Structure 1
Amino acid sequence: MHIDDEATFNRAGSVRILGAPWGDSSRRGRPYAKDPSVVRFQGRYLMYFSLPSQDDDRAEGWSVAVAESDDLVAWNTIAVLPAFGDYDATGAAAPGAVVIDGRVHLFFQTYGNGRDDAICHAASDDGTVFTANPQNPVFSPTGAWTCGRAIDADLVVAGDHLLMAWVTRDPEMRIQMVGTARAPLGSAYGPEDWEQLSVDGPALAPELPWEQECIEAPALRWDGTTFTMFYAGAYNNRPQQIGWATSPDGRTWTRGSDEPLIPAGRDGEWNSSESGHPGYLRDHDGQEYLTFQGNPDDGRTWYLATTRLEFDGPDPTVDIV
């Protein structure tokens, strides 16, 4: 579903978006799509996103869905992934997709298990039909600083490794934080393949006033020298906004700015309640994009939209209206 008035909604605060925001209305009868991860695969764009349960009051039943597009604006849902086993029977969400050697590798979280939620892995030759990793779940963090939960995985190929950023909470389940891990490229990406890089503490934890108690939804970029992580600060609709950080090694991260790169929109705009959960794409022509979620009604609806990225050295900029 598209918002009809593109002229009204064709901006995110001061950030221009491509076309009109989009949401899938198949489950709740209103636009509702979250947590985008976009790849270009076999000549079209595929977006992996979180599709909610049928009932507003039901926590179980979230799914990972797949939509396709020719232009990053008009999307059509083409698949909903089934549960792969007991581990994701209550739900799955927050997919992170990466193309490796002509296959889509999808990393997603189990949903509804609290501290026991973990990262799982599946792979596909066509982008829609996936075979689950028999070792699922493949990653949960360890250490005194974390509750052991892992959600919101995102990945990027860097040399001979696959770097994964993931999200956890402190032992009291109050503060949301980002950690990183890596696995050898071409491995099974099972539990024994991941080296946790965030051993003694998080890669990023909330520090700035606008981040409140939450850093989540990492989206990774690698240019051959520097990693960039786009991230969401603050829990949903408080408002969540998008910042960025850089790292030379995937372990140690430095914020690029004290202010959000993509703020929540102004009153009356499609993302006035938040701009959140980014997904990064480098297209086949070198153009770079962020797709992110937003809504104007404290989460009754959820839309997804895409903005162009440019880089001045390591610093990202977005298209200003």
Structure 2
Amino acid sequence: MSEKDDSKRNGNGRNGQPRRKALDLRLALNALSDVVQNRPPPIREFDQIYMKVGDMVVYAEYLCRKLDGRSLVFVGDGDAIGLSIAHLMNEGILDYGPSRIILLDFDERMVNSVNRFAQGNDFADRMEARLYNVADEIDPPLLESFEAFHINPPWGQYNDGKSVISFLRRGAQLLTDDGLGVVAIADDETKKWPGQVLRMTQKAAIDLGMAVVEMQPHMHTYHLEDAPELASCAMIFRKVEKFELKNEPLTTEEKKDFYGRDQHLEARFVREIAHIGRGMADPRDYKIESEVLE
């Protein structure tokens, strides 16, 4: 697709990006509160650390601008950014964004919560979620079939960025020619390891036929109790060269320290246990003490 065609697809705004109407912050925050309420609790051992809601609003709008009109696949999405985008578009709060969204995630709780929400809000035709573990090969019909991918993987502090690169390779396998890939990754100049992982990620992207076209530093913050100041950046890559990748499972070495020191990638899926009163307090978390009447 030519630059002219690409600009036409993305609207008539500056730099080929869609013209933006003023974002109604109240409506946007209320819409994302629906998404957050729907999101299952994070499992820390799998490095599920959720983004703060204000940053989710800003990031969802950013991705809608950058990926307007493109088919988009999320390889993992504990933050539910994909669902946030779909909901904001469905509610008319954003009138631009991806043409369709698919989530691939190993957490059945997340997959089911996304599909239930999409069906309940009548946009299941534009977003769906499927069970998938990044350790496995990709279903062949999905290969090179998306115009954009997004990853926010485990940040690779203890495995020299191998966890990031594993997700990056899966994204590259899913990407069409001239497609875009967005990577959210740790960004902190006060620590040495984020810079090292950033460098390795950019090098791996080049080796996979992609080039960095944009970077937004310190774009996201998280509910991270042991490092609340740690932020992440957003890097956008464009596929500039076709690169043949073998569609095969991760090796044992690639799974080591995947989620942190001595936390290897061993689980295949997180399965959902059905319970009554979804979205309500778990009765195991509290007890009621009655007043004693004399």
Tell me the TM-score normalized by structure 2.
Answer: 0.32
**Bigger proportion of residues as strand:** 1
Q: Name the larger-Rg structure.
A: 2
Using the size of structure 1 for normalisation, the TM-score is 0.30
> Greater helix percent: which structure?
2
